[in-house]
């Protein structure tokens, strides 16, 4: 490898960055989606980038059976969606009017499922009278992205040197030693030359890179993170998402723990979940630097309580690897014969043929059979593509990453789903073995009812969904993009109201009133140049308006006295 160059940081990315040899480049975080079924594994790796906005290349180690035909580029949206659905979340529970009797539901009981169809309420847009099966409109096609990378798979260090010389790029000095152990095992190098004109900037010299997907005919049991330690920044974020038809996954060679969940927090955490969660994780790492967090495990038909977004659609699952698994399935199983139509279905179809000519009847019969075959295909496809989705998160540096992360199946658990009860909204924070995995990291905020109680038998402390009169954006805030969020502004001990033994907290904030606020722009002068803020009002301008109206009223009264 080339020597004497400024090291280029590769962070949690399972490889390194080859650049022009000038300024330092950094990958702060890596998100990797691993889908497994049978003997096949599909791995999607997405990294961010900070450095010179000029042509460079990502070089990562891949299993020996990966070929150029097994490599593709995806849209970033697919991995972003998985990240959002599995991330730690903030949820506010409301207490309804105690004088309104009856059950009080939860926010997640309303359906968030995105429509897979081109129809409205199961009807053709062009023919509202005709009821149709939604399966006829499900998008089942995998989507890929073209243009951002030039992709090649190389055998060994010699081929890499030749390729780098051809494209005018240089590897960091430590890269050879970093990837040598993997090449000795027979692994290959996947190179992706990045067109700097095609990447998406998110500010300054920081860019979002599109995910790169490859697949192999064997289980992907170890993530080669140490290949990216050629030159490491202070810390790296690695988030692994494992899709498996039956099992939840953990990291077996590091301490895997469940972070605090279902704890009550102050409203300071709202909109700032990432900053809060950064502080929580740093506290856990201070006790054990080799702590991998198991943050989520749930069947993909759902996405937690509450769901930050709609569950994954079939086309998204196909894009992340489902299409590779489908290739290995015999055509007869992929497209099974539809079941015999019921008597009711036959009668309805015959009714549609009345008044039609023989040729029209024949065409209608063919269309009907095709529809039934498509319905059977989509139903079988959806049934095959059911997974347990696990999320594992590790924040580390070169010292704490002593070996690559080894993935292993683990038993189903549930946690973070118990509902708050009583005046303090106490909820179980336990994560325990269960029949099916339903694990999420949720931080709760309680909004008690402050109306005067004017009934004989009030029903108190029914914590649940938002009342109709509360006008607020229906959004679930999550801990995302952690490397760009502060790790010190929100201190967990100041905002956590529940006892959390893992953090050494008793549930009594040490200084609740002193949470650092985000910097704000200086207020612009209005009217007389003064700005009066009512501490009880969330809108300073509204307070100013009320003051002005009060002044007008005083003037009117004085005029009447005269």
Q: Which residues pair with 47 in a beta bridge?
A: 30
pLDDT of 511 reads: 56
Using alpha carbons, select from 484, 505, 480, 486 the residue that is nearest to residue 494.
505
Does residue 537 surpass a pLDDT of 80? no
SS3 annotation, 145-160: CCCCEEEEEECHHHHH
CB 516 within 8 A of CB 489: yes
Alpha-carbon Rg for the chain in angstroms: 28
**At 386, phi and psi to the nearest 5?**
-110, 130
Strand order in the sheet with 405-410: 222-223, 405-410, 248-251
Please compute the mean of the pLDDT values over residues 176-201 and round it to a whole number: 91
Looking at residue 433, the DSSP 8-state letter turns out to be E
**CB under 8 Å to 557, separation ≥6 — which residues?**
none
pLDDT band at 1 (very low <50, low <70, confident <90, very high): very low
Residue 107, both tokens: 């926010």
Question: Which residues partner with 389 through β-bridges?
Answer: 243, 298
What does the H/E/C string look like for 272-308? CHHHHHHHHHHHHHHHCCCEEEEEEEEECCCCCCCCC
Lowest model confidence (mean pLDDT) among 105-114, 186-195, 247-256, 465-474? 105-114
Residue 52 phi/psi, 5° resolution? -60, 135
Q: Supply the pLDDT for residue 553.
A: 43
Cβ atoms < 10 Å from Cβ of 143: 15
pLDDT tier for residue 202 given thresholds of 50, 70 and 90: confident
Termini Cα distance of the chain: 94
Dump pLDDT digits (tens) for 283-339. Answer: 999 999 999 999 999 999 999 999 999 999 999 999 999 999 999 999 999 999 999
Q: pLDDT tens across 46-62, in order? A: 998 888 888 899 999 99
CB 273 within 8 A of CB 479: yes
The pLDDT, as a whole number, for residue 270 is 94
Instruction: Identify the pLDDT of residue 447.
Output: 95
Which one has a higher pLDDT value, 35 or 112?
A: 35
How many Å separate Cα 120 from the centre of its chain? 28
For the residues 346-350, what does the mean pLDDT come to? Answer: 91
pLDDT at 517 over 70: no
Predicted pLDDT of residue 206: 81
CA dist list (Å): 140 to 81, 112, 135? 17, 20, 10
- How many H helices and E strands in the chain? 11, 23
Quick check: 508 pLDDT over 70? yes
Least confident range of 40-44, 528-532, 553-557: 528-532
- By percentage, how much of the chain surpasses pLDDT 90? 65
Q: How far apart are CA 535 and CA 551, in angstroms?
A: 20
| Torsion over CA: 108, 113, 114, 119 (sign) | negative
pLDDT value, residue 523: 38
pLDDT for 521 beyond 70: no
> Residue 22: its pLDDT value, please?
66
Q: Is the pLDDT of residue 100 over 60?
A: yes
Other C-beta atoms closer than 10 Å to the C-beta of 543 total: 17
* Tokens 């054990």 -> residue: 288
Band (pLDDT 50/70/90 cuts) for residue 108 is very high
């Amino acid at each position: 490898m080339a020597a004497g160059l400024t090291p280029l940081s590769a962070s949690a990315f399972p490889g390194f960055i080859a650049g022009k040899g000038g300024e330092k480049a950094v990958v702060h975080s890596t998100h990797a989606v691993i889908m497994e079924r049978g003997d096949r594994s599909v791995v999607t790796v997405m990294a961010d980038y900070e450095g010179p906005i000029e042509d460079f290349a990502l070089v990562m180690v891949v299993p020996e059976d990966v070929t150029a035909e097994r490599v593709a580029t995806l849209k970033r949206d697919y991995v972003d969606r998985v990240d959002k659905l599995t991330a730690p979340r903030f949820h506010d529970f409301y207490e309804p009017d105690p004088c309104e009797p009856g059950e009080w539901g939860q926010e997640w009981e309303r359906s968030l499922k995105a429509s897979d169809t081109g129809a409205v309420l199961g009807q053709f847009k062009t023919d509202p009278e005709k009821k149709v099966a939604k399966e006829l409109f499900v998008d089942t096609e995998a989507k890929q992205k073209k243009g951002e990378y030039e992709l090649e798979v190389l055998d060994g260090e010699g081929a890499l040197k030749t390729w780098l010389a051809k494209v005018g790029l240089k590897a960091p000095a430590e890269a050879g030693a970093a990837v040598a152990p993997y090449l000795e095992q027979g692994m290959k190098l996947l190179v992706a030359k990045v067109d700097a004109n095609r990447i998406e900037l998110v500010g300054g010299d920081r860019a979002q890179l599109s995910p790169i997907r490859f697949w192999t005919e064997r289980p992907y049991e170890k993530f080669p993170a140490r290949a990216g330690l050629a030159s490491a920044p202070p810390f790296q974020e690695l988030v692994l998402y494992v899709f498996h038809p039956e099992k939840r996954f953990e990291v077996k060679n590091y301490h895997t723990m469940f972070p605090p969940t279902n704890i009550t927090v102050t409203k300071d955490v709202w909109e700032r979940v990432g900053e809060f969660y950064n502080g929580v994780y740093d506290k856990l790492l201070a006790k054990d630097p080799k702590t991998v967090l198991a943050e989520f495990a749930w069947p993909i038909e759902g996405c937690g309580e509450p769901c930050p977004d709609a569950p994954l659609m079939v086309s998204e699952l196909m894009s992340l690897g489902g299409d590779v698994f489908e290739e290995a399935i015999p055509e007869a199983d992929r497209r099974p014969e539809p079941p015999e139509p019921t008597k009711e279905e036959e009668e309805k179809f015959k009714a549609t043929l009345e008044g039609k000519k023989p040729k029209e009847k024949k065409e209608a019969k063919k269309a009907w059979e095709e529809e039934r075959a498509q319905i059977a295909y989509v139903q079988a496809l959806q049934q095959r593509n059911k997974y347990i989705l696990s999320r594992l998160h590790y924040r580390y540096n070169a010292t704490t990453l002593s070996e690559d992360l080894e993935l292993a199946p683990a038993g189903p658990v549930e946690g973070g789903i118990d509902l708050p009860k009583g005046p303090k909204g106490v909820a179980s924070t336990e994560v325990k073995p269960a029949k099916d995995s339903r694990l999420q990291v949720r931080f709760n905020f309680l909004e008690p009812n402050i109306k005067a109680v004017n009934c004989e038998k009030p029903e108190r402390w029914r914590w649940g969904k938002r009342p109709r009169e509360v006008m607020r954006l229906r959004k679930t805030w999550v801990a995302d993009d952690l490397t760009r969020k502060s790790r010190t502004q929100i201190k967990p001990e100041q905002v956590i109201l529940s006892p959390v033994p893992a953090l050494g907290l008793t549930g009594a904030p040490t200084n609740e009133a002193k949470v650092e606020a985000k910097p704000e722009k200086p207020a612009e002068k209005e009217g007389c140049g003064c700005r009066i803020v009512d501490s009880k009002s969330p809108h300073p301008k509204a307070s100013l308006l009320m003051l002005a109206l009060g002044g007008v009223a005083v003037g009117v009264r004085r005029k009447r006295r005269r």
